[in-house]
Chains A and B, each alone.
Chain A
Amino acid sequence: MYVAVKGGERAIGNAHAWLDEARRGDPALAELDVAQVEQQLGLAVDRVMAEGSCYDRGLAALAVKQARGDLIEAAFLLRAYRTTLARFGASEPVETGAMRIQRRISATYKDLPGGQVLGPTFDYTHRLLDFALAAEREAVAPAPEGVADPAPMPRVTELLAREGLMRRESRSDAEPPDLTRDPLNFPVPRAAWLQALARGDEGFLLGLGYSTQRGYGNSHPFAGEIRMGEVTVEFTPPELGFAIELGEIVLTECQMVNQFAGSKSEPPQFTRGYGLVFGHGERKAMAMALVDRGLRAEELGEPVDAPAQSQEFVLYHCDNVEATGFVEHLKLPHYVDFQSELEKLRSLRQEAGQ
């Protein structure tokens, strides 16, 4: 008698024991420390914090270690943890204009108040494998330090706005929606889609942003400004009535400057696409800014015909935790559905053959 082999509790337990062993790798090698991940794989940690939408370097590093370096799995772990946390309030809006700058560049002005600050970047490195890194090294010599320019660093888009060339954003003091509490109800306001993009998959947004550069919803972008550094997070406890500082977080902000031909009611002017992500995530911030501008097509009276301009297309598919769950659920048994398809196909073929 054939007994259907279906998984059991023991099989699952054994599989997970194997996973633990595989995660550890060769026991002759030192085990990876969570602090090492946090310090030396910092950009992986940043990406997991951004897509896990939880700013905690230690937990994100733990998630990277637990997920064996699978960053989407790590973001999933962090999100599942995040939902169990009590929510005691919302911070004051952070002021990126007062960012303690580590990096600030503009592609639209050669020089500008505050200057160009390259910061720790891969840009202009030659992508040659550095075999010296494969060997144990002496301590790395500290990078030379200059004197920080005390001048404030106004945002490039603000400089354009003062001249009337940059379209003013409509100001709203309304409570922004929270997409982790309320489902998206289309059409959604920009505050909701920016939230979705900020935690969206870097690869997906990169591809979509790229598509806008290649003619699928052309928006003629210039990288007006990219800045990365620490901002202060403030919170106003209701019992105090004034804001107190909770700490600092690192953010990357990108403001794209895009052409706009104008409409019946508005003169030709620049418009902006906005990207903001946790940590040092420049590629993601830039891609997000391109997609944000794409999603503004309807508001600006432009034709909506490219994927990056469709709210439902972008927002329903940018979340990698949702996407990976549904794509990977195809691994689950589908015997029943498949059986009904088999029977249907056989009967249709039989009828066609008659």
Chain B
Amino acid sequence: MTEASIEAGYNFGYLDENTKRMIRRALLKAVAVPGYQVPFGSREMPLPYGWGTGGIQVTASIIGADDTLKVIDQGADDTTNAVSIRRFFNRVTGVATTEHTAAATIIQTRHRVPEAKLREGQVLVYQVPMPEPLFRLEPRVAETKRMHALADYGLMHVKLYEDIARHGAATTSYNYPVLVNQRYLMSPSPIPAFDNPKLDRMPALQLFGAGREKRIYAVPPWTEVKSLDFEDHPFQPARADAACVICGARDSYLDELIVDDSGKRHFVCSDTDYCASRPPVQDAAA
């Protein structure tokens, strides 16, 4: 695409070059200290806080004219907010967009990690609502900063222990805390715990942007990402015990649909690109 296709009056990627440079510096620091939350001068964006402003600023700072962008929300390319963010980047960069995971160089996501394995050279940009994994246990940021500095994560282990003692299992089903590079406790963003294992030693670069909370963090390629657990209660990712009614997949994460008044349920892949890449099930009533 040519420069002419960019919205008149705006810089490539919307942000001015100095802002991009400030964000890139924060990204470099984040990559250098995996899992550490780097404060950054988050800008007010033309999309609302909480709707992906952190991810958008990260993407805007790293995107170039040769990139191919994919935007997903809940795993799907056609959810309204994904459509809106993709259209935003189309207006302010004019770069090519795609729905195919393999064809994208940058994938901005909310709440999912694609089912297809990512490769080296790809960048996965997560939209993060609350970057602080400890905030439900300790709302004071000054205090959680101290806990991270001392790697004092006992509070989280006690929480897990109490879950197991009371319910027999961890009750956290999404945004399940991980330890990055054996040092920093990190929120993987509200992805289902099912996706957590994909973060571990992922060949692609993972960048996390929290606009409202003004934090950036990162997991460099091939970095260890371990979901918190105990030796006698290992981490257990879960998915619905069903098959996708469209493609029959039993290995993908599923959305549950209620299809009639009696509460009959169908399950479909949340990752629409993964689903579309597989042959459809012959029997439509499956």
Which chain A residues have a beta carbon within 8 Å of chain B's beta carbons? 1-2, 4, 6-9, 11-12, 76, 79-80, 82-84, 180-187, 312, 316, 321-322, 324-329, 332-337, 339-344, 347-348, 351-352
Residue B68 CB within 8 A of the other chain: no
Q: Are A332 and B81 in contact (CB under 8 A)?
A: yes
Residues of B close to A333: CB separation below 8 A: 73-74, 79-81
Cα–Cα, bound, A336→B255 (Å): 6
Pick from A79, A341, A352: contact of B174, CB below 8 A: A341
**Complex CA–CA separation, A316 to B49 (angstroms):** 13
The residues in B between 228 and 252 inclusive whose CB is less than 8 angstroms from any CB of A are 238-240, 245-246
With A336-B174, A348-B167: A325-B48 Cβ-Cβ less than 8 Å: yes
The reply to whether A11 and B80 contact each other, CB–CB distance below 8 Å, is yes
Partner of A186, one of B142, B171, B238: B142
Q: Which of B189-230 contact A (CB under 8 A)?
A: 190-194, 212, 214-215
Interface presence of B50 (CB below 8 A): yes
Contact B268 A80 (CB under 8 A): no
Determine whether B43 belongs to the interface, using a CB cutoff of 8 Å to chain A: yes
Known: A335-B256, A344-B171; 8 extra A-B contacts, CB below 8 A, are: A7-B78, A183-B214, A322-B212, A325-B48, A329-B49, A329-B50, A334-B190, A341-B174
Q: How far is the CA of A182 from the CA of B43 in the complex (A)?
A: 9
Q: Decide: A348 near B174, CB < 8 A? Known: A181-B41, A332-B73.
A: no
Query: B254: which A residues are within 8 A, CB to CB?
Result: 339
Q: Which 4 A-B pairs rank lowest in CB-CB distance, beginning with the nearest?
A: A325-B49, A7-B80, A329-B50, A325-B48
In contact, A336 and B41 (Cβ under 8 angstroms): no
Q: Assuming the A-B contacts A7-B78, A8-B83, are A335 and B240 also in contact, with contact meaning beta carbons closer than 8 angstroms in the complex?
A: no
Most A CB within 10 A of own CB, among B78, B173, B212, B215: B173
**B238 contact from A185, A334, A340, Cβ within 8 A:** A340
Is the Cβ of A80 less than 8 Å from the Cβ of B255?
A: no
Task: Tell me the complex Cα distance, A187–B75, Å.
Answer: 39
Residues of B within 8 A of A342 (CB): 256
Taking the closest CB of chain B, its distance from the CB of A125, in whole angstroms, is: 37
Q: In the complex, which of the residues B44, B239, B255 contacts A83, with contact meaning CB atoms closer than 8 Å?
A: B44
Which A residues are in CB contact (< 8 Å) with B48? 76, 321, 324-325, 328-329
Interchain CA distance A325-B54 in the complex, whole Å: 12
Q: How far is the CA of A8 from the CA of B73 in the complex (A)?
A: 12
A185 to B38, CA, bound (A): 11
Instruction: Tell me the complex Cα distance, A1–B259, Å.
Output: 10
Report B's interface with A, CB cutoff 8 A: 10, 16, 39-46, 48-51, 53, 73-76, 78-81, 83-84, 87, 110-112, 129, 139-142, 167-169, 171, 173-175, 190-194, 212, 214-215, 238-240, 245-246, 253-257, 259, 266, 268, 270, 284
In the complex, the answer to whether A8 meets B78 with C-beta atoms within 8 Å is: yes
Q: List 21 A-B contacts (CB under 8 A).
A: A1-B284, A4-B268, A6-B76, A6-B79, A9-B83, A79-B44, A84-B16, A183-B39, A183-B215, A325-B50, A329-B48, A332-B51, A332-B80, A334-B74, A335-B255, A336-B174, A336-B255, A337-B111, A344-B171, A348-B167, A351-B169
Closest residue of B by beta carbon distance from A348 = B167
Residues in A with CB closer than 8 Å to B239 are 343
**Contact of A180 with B44 in the complex, beta carbons under 8 Å:** yes
Docked CA distance A334–B189 (Å): 13
What is the distance, in angstroms, from B257's C-beta to the closest C-beta of chain A? 6
B44 x A340 contact (CB < 8 A): no
SS class, residues of chain A in contact with chain B: helix
Please, how many angstroms separate the alpha-carbon atoms of A76 and B79 in the complex?
24
Q: Using Cβ atoms and an 8 Å threshold, which residues of chain B touch A324?
A: 48-49
Are A326 and B79 within 8 A (Cβ)? no
The residue on B at minimum CB distance from A11 is B80
> Could you tell me the distance in whole angstroms from the C-beta of A188 to the nearest C-beta in chain B?
10
In whole angstroms, how far apart are the Cα atoms of A325 and B50 in the complex?
A: 5
Q: A180-B44, A335-B255, A351-B167 are in contact. Are A12 and B80 (CB under 8 A)?
A: yes
The CA of A11 and the CA of B50, in the complex, are separated in Å by 22
Are B44 and A312 within 8 A (Cβ)?
no
User: Which residues on the B side are within 8 Å of A332 (C-beta)?
Assistant: 51, 73, 80-81, 110
Q: B78 and A6: CB pair below 8 A?
A: yes
Partner of A321, one of B49, B129, B215: B49
